[in-house]
Chain A
């Protein structure tokens, strides 16, 4: 057992600008599956944060600040009276956050030379700029860490947050996942994802944040615990067939969480609608979760789009939404897998109530690290 718990949540995706909106989005009676790209709608950071200091911030930084505000506020940590800010840290997952700035600057240099650049863009060309703005605004002095690990990035950031707690580098870790599907990001992701694919992936803006603490610390301050991190597993694939490595990550996670597959309430899939993801994941799940009746499976990306660096944190929050709501949201029937996989992990295609006590969230990408995190009800 990891001993880490979630005490605060902030989230933005599609039309949802907070956790309540996100739950409504997931559990809408008539689900609307998103168009490509699934942009964040009516996003007005000034309304949430005030206008001061926003002028020169890139969009990812603004999104990160908004979800950080909601997560810290919902954790009820009294930020004005924190005794040692050196015990507060931030870990941010983003792969593409600076692409717009980087592309704009590179294009300007190639056209007009460096004299045409704006010096103000200098820090904005550093991939850790979003995390830095969060650390600065909220005075998080215990470490400001950015993670870029591709599709697994969000779950890797959560693991890194947990390791900061375990290695006594922090008492509170704000874990943020943020990605903006700028035109540049779409060019690169489309090129990467559609190489071998049969269809276009829906890409989505997303930002999500959770506050992690040790369970005894959270209990001592009387925090409301939203979920427990039960365990995790990772395994690096060989780049050819990821299924056995994902299965190994899943089994390591269940072992660390001391969870029998029979006790698992839900699997949150990393499927983004491509066979290149669905097929290996289906095989890994059916090989590692041998349970009669199957473990219900849901695909958050069918509702949110592929949010890349934000996806892992969004999936964790989707799991918490299912736990708190007492139900499993609907995924499109067209995302069903083959009969063998559906028998082991049936995709939930009609809305239903369920007592979700534990959920397994997955993140991986072709040739990348496979990550599984188990989360449980408090």
Chain B
């Protein structure tokens, strides 16, 4: 049944091409830094457009865990950071049988499989790479239910949505909800081949937007039942009030306004909120012709006049499209936006598409009173997952 137990965020970890850790990441976001650079983890000469947004760390856990693929290593890095911030290892933390792991990863560690099948670097542990959530659970010593979703680019917000559900129905007391991805050669190459343009930057909602630049990254959140967090006096960074999960069921590769609208509507409904309650939108904003239009039209349809009154930012303009990680990264960004009262900018927005009329926070961060935020993520297969976050107020909304 719809969420009864309140779900709060007590830990965060983030690793992207523009910074690691909440403070560095936030500073980079509000100052509009770009993570775009010539890729180094594949031979750039193999692609028409060799630009991407790699994490500038060679081997996230190489000494400690040489058996892990890169996505899993980044995942462990952010999960450890989030668990530490939440104090999951402390004496008062929920028992480990009541702590689960939900991971979203569009491409899993298929990069390791590519390398192995093509005869290069056959070192990564295959079993670990297809059970990323189990890998986190073992590393952090938690024993509750765990699951990994390779659900395309909506994976990260789906992970948050499912984690919140598991707490809400009483299955678990706390969940490490995360997204992590590094690009595969196949996906990088196929995106390069399918995109008729070769953009030098990501410019969501711009008239001359040229599509996404793939990136890599990871983010993790510790979601916890409010009672558990309160009892152990954990610091709370925000509340997950509800999520919408839908499928367009129309095309494997095109997002539709109807499917996105349904997901946003469901997220609001399960949060017990209406359009007027939303103060900020952290958009999916992939800079494709179809997606940017579908997302804008869906926001206009569901939020009505409110859509053009609030900031809508596309942080992929800075850190690239981190695939399945992007939704979890966006949840971290939205929590920081609530905390600081600032909407991060959409960079590279020189000529806003005249057909798209929202306040996309062009090129400069905006101060804004933000109590609630909507985070959108959509992916191949018509998968849509939207999450509503709220500033935590212990006494309110009971």
Contacts and interface: CB of A to CB of B under 8 A. Distances in A.
Interface in B143-187: 143-152, 158, 162, 165-166, 168-169, 171, 184-187
A17 B207 CA distance: 51
Contacts of A365: 127, 131
A103 B114 contact: yes
For the complex of A and B, the 3 pairs showing the least CB-CB separation, nearest first, are A132-B381, A105-B186, A127-B150
A213 to B, nearest CB: 16
A191 B45 CA distance: 31
B57 interface: no
Given A121-B190, A123-B253, A367 B127 contact: yes
14 contacts: A90-B247, A106-B114, A109-B46, A109-B186, A110-B185, A119-B193, A122-B191, A125-B187, A129-B381, A143-B247, A148-B149, A152-B131, A167-B165, A168-B1
Interface in B1-38: 1-2
Contacts of B1: 167-168
Contacts of A99: 110, 113, 117
B249 A136 contact: yes
Contacts of B148: 147-149
A149 to B, nearest CB: 6
A140 B249 contact: yes
Contacts of A110: 43, 46, 118, 185
A167 B148 CA distance: 18
B305 interface: no
B187 to A, nearest CB: 5
Contacts of A199: none
B142 interface: yes
Interface in A305-335: none
Contacts of B193: 114-115, 117-119, 122
A187 interface: yes
B368 interface: no
A145 interface: yes
Interface residues of A, number: 77
Given A127-B106, A149-B131, A187-B117, A114 B48 contact: yes
B246 A160 contact: no
Contacts of A367: 127-128, 131, 134, 138
A239 interface: yes
Nearest to A116: B193
Interface string A95-108: 11011011101111
Contacts of A106: 114, 117-118, 184-186, 189
Nearest to A252: B97
Interface centre among A89, A159, A169, A248 (most CB of B within 10 A): A169
A141 B247 contact: yes
A191 B126 contact: yes
A11 B15 CA distance: 42
B146 to A, nearest CB: 5
A145 B149 contact: yes
A126 B107 CA distance: 7
Nearest to B259: A141
Interface stretch (A202-210, A230-238, A353-361): A230-238
Contacts of B146: 149, 234, 236, 369
B184 A123 contact: no
Given A102-B184, A167-B165, A184 B138 contact: no
B381 A103 contact: no
A274 B190 CA distance: 39
B252 A136 contact: yes
Given A125-B186, A149-B134, A163-B166, 17 more contacts: A86-B246, A99-B113, A113-B46, A114-B46, A115-B193, A123-B380, A126-B252, A126-B380, A127-B110, A127-B150, A132-B381, A135-B249, A144-B382, A147-B148, A191-B122, A234-B145, A369-B146
B294 interface: no
Nearest to B143: A236
Interface string B205-247: 0000000000000000000000000000000000000000111
A150 B129 CA distance: 9
A89 B194 CA distance: 30
Contacts of B151: 128, 144-146
A159 B162 CA distance: 12
Given A95-B130, A239-B138, A166 B169 contact: yes
Interface of A: 85-86, 89-90, 95-96, 98-99, 101-103, 105-110, 113-115, 117-119, 121-123, 125-129, 131-133, 135-136, 138-150, 152, 156, 159-160, 163, 166-169, 184, 187-189, 191-192, 234-239, 245, 248, 365-369
B317 interface: no
B245 A238 contact: no
B192 interface: yes
B190 A238 contact: no
B262 interface: yes
B117 to A, nearest CB: 5
Given A367-B138, A369-B146, A105 B189 contact: yes
A272 to B, nearest CB: 13
B147 A156 contact: yes
A144 B247 contact: yes
B133 interface: yes
Nearest to A144: B247
B313 interface: no
Given A234-B145, A236-B138, A236-B146, A114 B168 contact: no
Given A127-B110, A129-B252, A141-B248, A146 B262 contact: no
Given A106-B117, A114-B47, A236-B143, A135 B382 contact: yes
Contacts of B171: 163
B127 A192 contact: yes
B116 interface: yes
B309 interface: no
Contact of A369 (B130, B131, B152): B131
Nearest to A102: B186
B108 interface: yes
B194 to A, nearest CB: 4
B250 interface: yes
Nearest to A159: B145
Contacts of A369: 131, 133-134, 137, 145-146
B94 to A, nearest CB: 15
Contacts of A132: 247, 252, 380-383
B362 interface: no
Contacts of A96: 130
A146 B149 contact: yes
A119 B252 CA distance: 13
Contacts of B110: 98-99, 102, 127
A126 B152 contact: yes
Contact of A125 (B143, B184, B246): B184
